[in-house]
Amino acid sequence: MITAQAADKSLDIQGKDFLTLADFSKNTILGLVQKARKMKNASLLGKDSKSLNGKILGMIFEKPSTRTRVSFEAGMIQLGGSALYLNSNDLQIGRGETVADTAKVLSQYVDAIMIRTFSHGMVEELALHADIPVINGLTDLYHPCQALADLLTIYEVKGRLEGLKLVYAGDGNNVAHSLMIAAAKVGMNLTIAAPPGYEPQEKVLALAKQFGKETGAEIEVVNSAIEAAAGADILYTDVWTSMGQEQENAERLEIFKSYQVNAQLAAAAKQDYTFLHCLPAHRGEEVAADIIDGSHSAVFQQAGNRLHAQKALLSELL
């Protein structure tokens, strides 16, 4: 259970980077979730804190975005700050200027950097050389901001995190990786169901299992979606073809077809299961339309929670 006190005391992450949830303790993660709940309630009452008055967030995008860009930009504005959209095509980074030099220059202008890109190594290099917090808005390895919003959503819907069974069916990608770390950190059981050859990376699985030993969470990877879904509290999926994999689309549609979240898969879950998807969704591919648009779906609540989770994160880092 998340205590109310968790949101009222400092989480001691001011000035730190946010690259993966693996870097943070269970208490810090739960504290961010609770702070996000309080900030969401305040926002709904029109009582947003202006704690980031005068602060500027620089947002670097190598990948296009809807939720990441709008939620971070809106969040900064609501907290009294501002955000700068920096398309990688408009920057010198990667076109002659090193990542290190870009980090040092941007550190003179803005108070934090959020970057959404392909290479996780690039984000690590940016953080290494920046004098300000760097936030991973998405890489090919991790998507920690999404996982933080997912925890908030699950807590709102289920009233707890610890001991729940979360089942993710589909590609063992960055979303799956961050879910593994997040679940293990907070004591939530997670089963990833992925086709052979498309499982999450072994190093991430080993890390999640290590964290799971500390919280009692069981983290496993299987190949059968229908077996994984048995008794699930939450069913979760993502697109089968991510940005940069478009040439594999036809092949992936065939390989992943038995991993669709549909009525048959949902029948194996608990009667009060919740469906989640990080969006954008391809109805008729990874999820049937009647599932994502049905009464068990919380995907738009989940999308909205990106804003509140990131506001909590920004307010703590800055």
List residues with catalytic annotation. Answer: 116, 143, 146, 238, 278, 306
How far apart are alpha carbons 33 and 36 in whole angstroms? Answer: 5
153 is known to lie in a ligand binding site = no
Is 23 a known ligand-binding residue?
A: no
Question: What SS3 string covers 128-178?
Answer: HHCCCCEEEEECCCCCHHHHHHHHHHHHHHHCCCCCCEEEEECCCCHHHHH
Classified as helix, coil or strand, 107 is coil
The reply to whether 173 sits in an annotated binding site is no
Cα dihedral across residues 212, 218, 224, 225: positive or negative: negative
238 assigned ligand-binding residue: yes
252 is in an annotated binding site: no
Instruction: Please indicate if the annotation marks 144 as binding a ligand.
Output: yes
Note whether 129 and 105 are within 8 A (CB).
no
Determine whether the annotation assigns residue 51 to a binding site: no
Positive/negative CA dihedral, 154, 36, 25, 76: positive
34 is in an annotated binding site: no
Q: How far apart (Å, rounded) are the C-alpha atoms in residues 35 and 248?
A: 40
Sign of the torsion angle spanned by Cα atoms 203, 206, 212, 217:
positive
Q: Which parts of the chain fold into alpha helices (H)? A: 26-44, 67-78, 99-106, 120-129, 144-158, 174-186, 202-215, 225-228, 249-255, 263-268, 289-292, 299-317
Give CA–CA dist 86/89, Å, rounded: 8
By CB atoms closer than 10 A (0-12, 13-18, 19+), residue 115 is: buried
Find out whether 224 is annotated in a ligand binding site: no
174 is in an annotated binding site: yes
Q: 297: annotated binding-site residue?
A: no
Ligand-binding site membership of 243 (annotated): yes
Instruction: Check the annotation: does 116 bind a ligand.
Output: yes
What the block records as the tokens of 43 is 């926002």
282 in Cβ contact with 239 (< 8 Å): yes
14 among the known binding-site residues? Answer: no
Q: Is there a binding annotation on residue 48?
A: no
Q: Is 237 annotated as a binding residue?
A: no
278 is in an annotated binding site: yes
Binding residues for carbamoyl phosphate, as ranges, are: 65-68, 92, 116, 143-146, 278-279, 306
Binding residues for L-ornithine, as ranges, are: 174, 238, 242-243
